[in-house]
Amino acid sequence: MAETVVFARPQALAPVPTHYCPGCTHGVIHRLVAEVVDELGLAHRTVGIAPVGCSVLAYNYFSTDFQEAAHGRAPAVATGVKRARPDLIVFAYQGDGDLASIGMAEIVHCANRGEKITVVFVNNAIYGMTGGQMAPTTLPGQVTTTCPLGRDVSQVGYPIRVAELLATLRTPAFVARAAVHTPLHAVTAKEMLRRAFRYQAEGTCFSLVEVLSTCPTNWGMPPVEATEWVEKNMVPYYPLGVFKTPDGLDRAPRPAPATEG
């Protein structure tokens, strides 16, 4: 009897176990990226840029070529690769400390130059690799090791909404936010990643998909509770959806018409 393969490891994903903690959704996001790269037939000319943070070892988990970047500099490294070889598909995989803290300058300018690269931005509201410090995306009141009494917005400001921030740039781009804490959300996330890579492959624009992720270890809760925490606490602050499409339209607010005295 002929067998039909209904589920297999994507070719772009390396056949190795990852170091991620139980319940962490980096693995899901890796898989979605790999599936998209496979389905678009891009794997052979894809170069990934790995960040510093929990996903620092991403270069071991994809079966594509990779360059490791210094903390926060992945968009700059990606720019170098893409400008040297515009025929390559270049994606940077970055966490919230990497992209939204130390690498804020690089990501803003990369997006503003309209580099034809794709950024997968994983937001789990905490520094994972270094043991649970406050991130720029840590929610108000959330306890971390460097805000032991909870994030005090009067001292450190509000969490940065990266997708919204980048969407304010005039340069055409595709910017979206997705989540992977339920299967249905993961399906939508994959759709957005597919659009992001397609825009790059077509040479259209810069693309970034922010993906809300979990950190059971540093949030201090079991994996199932962590997925509920995403729904209950993160999604309300970080709304899901598409924030910018490369239609070239300037949606900057217009000055209000002068009112007659």
Partner 1 sequence: MQNDLIIAGFGGQGVLLIGKMLAYAGMADGKEVSWLPSYGPEMRGGTCNCTVVIADRPVGSPVVERPRVAMVMNLPSLEKYEGMVKPGGLLLVNTSLISRDVQRSDLRVVKVPANEIANRLGNPRAANMVALGAYLGATRAVSLAAVEGLVRETFAGKAKVIDSNLAALQEGYALGEREAADGKAVSQEVGA
Partner 2 sequence: MAKKLMKGCEAIGEAAIKAGCKLFFGYPITPQNEIPEYMAHRLPQVGGTFVQAESEVAASNMIYGAAGSGERVFTSSSSPGISLMQEGISYIAGSELPVVIVNIMRAGPGLGGILPSQSDYFQATKGGGHGDYRLLVLAPWSVQEAADLMQDAFDLADYYRNPVMVLGDGLIGQMMEPVEFKAERTPCKPLPPKAWVATGCSGDRPTNIINSLFLDPEVLERHNQKLKAKYDLMVRDEVRCASYGTDRPYEVLVVAYGTVARVCSTALDDLREDGVGAALFRPITLFPFPYAELRAAAENARAVLVVELSTGQMIEDVRLALEGSRPIHFLGRQGGMLISPEAVSERVSAISAGLPEEVRHG
Residues lying near partner 1 in the complex (CB under 8 A): 19, 21-22, 217
Q: What residues pair up with 215 in beta bridges, in sequence order?
A: none
Nearer to partner 2, 125 or 205 (CB): 125
Candidate ranges 140-148, 170-178, 215-223, 225-233; the one touching partner 2 (CB under 8 A): 140-148
Give the one residue of 89, 107, 120, 129 binding partner 2; rule: CB under 8 A: 129
Indicate the residue among 145 and 182 with the shorter CB distance to partner 2.
145
Residue 127 binds partner 2 (CB under 8 A): yes
102 binds, among partner 1, partner 2, none (CB under 5 to 8 A by kind): partner 2
126 Cβ contact partners less than 8 Å away, ≥ 6 residues apart: 96, 132, 133, 134, 135, 138, 142, 144, 215, 218, 219
Tokens of 235: 């999604």
Q: How far is the CB of 145 from partner 1 (least distance, A)?
A: 14
Among 86, 131, 141, 222, binds partner 2 (CB under 8 A): 131
Of the pair 22, 183, the CB lying nearest partner 1 is at 22
Q: Are 11 and 63 in contact (CB under 8 A)?
A: yes
Q: How far is the CB of 187 from partner 2 (least distance, A)?
A: 34
Residue 94 to residue 103: CA distance in whole angstroms: 9
Is residue 154 part of the contact set for partner 2 (CB under 8 A)? Answer: no
Q: Does the protein bind partner 2 through residue 163 (CB under 8 A)?
A: no
Going edge to edge, which strands form the sheet with 206-212? 65-68, 46-50, 89-95, 118-123, 206-212, 173-179, 241-244
CA distance 243 to 251: 11
Question: Exactly one of 10, 23, 136, 216 binds partner 2 (CB under 8 A); which one?
Answer: 136
Binding-site partner at residue 70 among partner 1, partner 2, none, CB < 5 to 8 Å by type:
partner 2
Other C-beta atoms within 10 Å of 38: how many? Answer: 16
CB proximity list for 186: less than 8 A, separation 6 or greater: 28, 32, 180
- Find where tokens 């170069």 sit: 47
Q: Would you tell me which residues interact with partner 2 (CB under 8 A)?
A: 52, 56, 68, 70-72, 97, 101-102, 104, 127, 129-131, 133-134, 136, 145-149, 156
